[in-house]
């Protein structure tokens, strides 16, 4: 048990050791000469025109919600299926049943919204 946790701590330590110079070196050595031109906002190299805020259509929101839910379902069901081959019990079946019961709520909501907006 401690061996697995030690690997996680080792990975976190490597991440910290290698990320610290990447953050500190530019902070210490980057030139600081802010001018109005450097601080101006640009959109793909051009001066922005018009409103900064735009209305985004939520036409495909139900499909996005369904995709995210099905993605999570597929990942967890694959992991459950590979482990349940060796240790099939009523406890694992109850846990996966609870998981599916909870995860089908947003899936049903996404399908409801898609049908309500005539997207289905």
Report in angstroms the alpha-carbon separations of 50 from 29, 31, 40, 58, 102.
37, 32, 15, 22, 44
Overall pTM surpassing 0.75 (yes/no): no
Domain ranges of the chain: 2-116
Do the Cβ atoms of 23 and 30 come closer than 8 Å? no
The CATH class given to the 2-116 domain equals mainly alpha
Give the pLDDT mean for 35-55: 75
**What pLDDT, on a 0 to 100 scale, did the predictor assign at position 12?**
93
Give 62-117 pLDDT, tens digit per residue: 778 788 888 888 888 887 777 766 666 777 778 778 888 888 888 888 788 877 76
* Backbone φ, ψ for residue 46 (5° rounding): -110, 155
């Amino acid at each position: 048990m401690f061996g697995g946790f030690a690997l996680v701590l080792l990975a976190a330590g490597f991440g910290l050791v290698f990320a610290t110079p990447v953050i500190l070196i530019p902070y210490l050595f980057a030139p600081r000469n802010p001018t109005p031109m450097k601080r101006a906002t640009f959109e793909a190299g051009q001066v922005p025109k018009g409103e900064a805020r735009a209305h985004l259509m939520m036409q495909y929101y139900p499909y996005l919600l369904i995709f995210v839910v099905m993605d999570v379902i597929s990942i967890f069901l694959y992991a459950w299926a590979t482990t349940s081959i060796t240790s099939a019990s009523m406890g694992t079946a109850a846990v996966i049943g609870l998981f599916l019961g909870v995860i089908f709520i947003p899936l049903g909501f996404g399908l409801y919204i898609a049908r309500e907006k005539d997207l289905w």
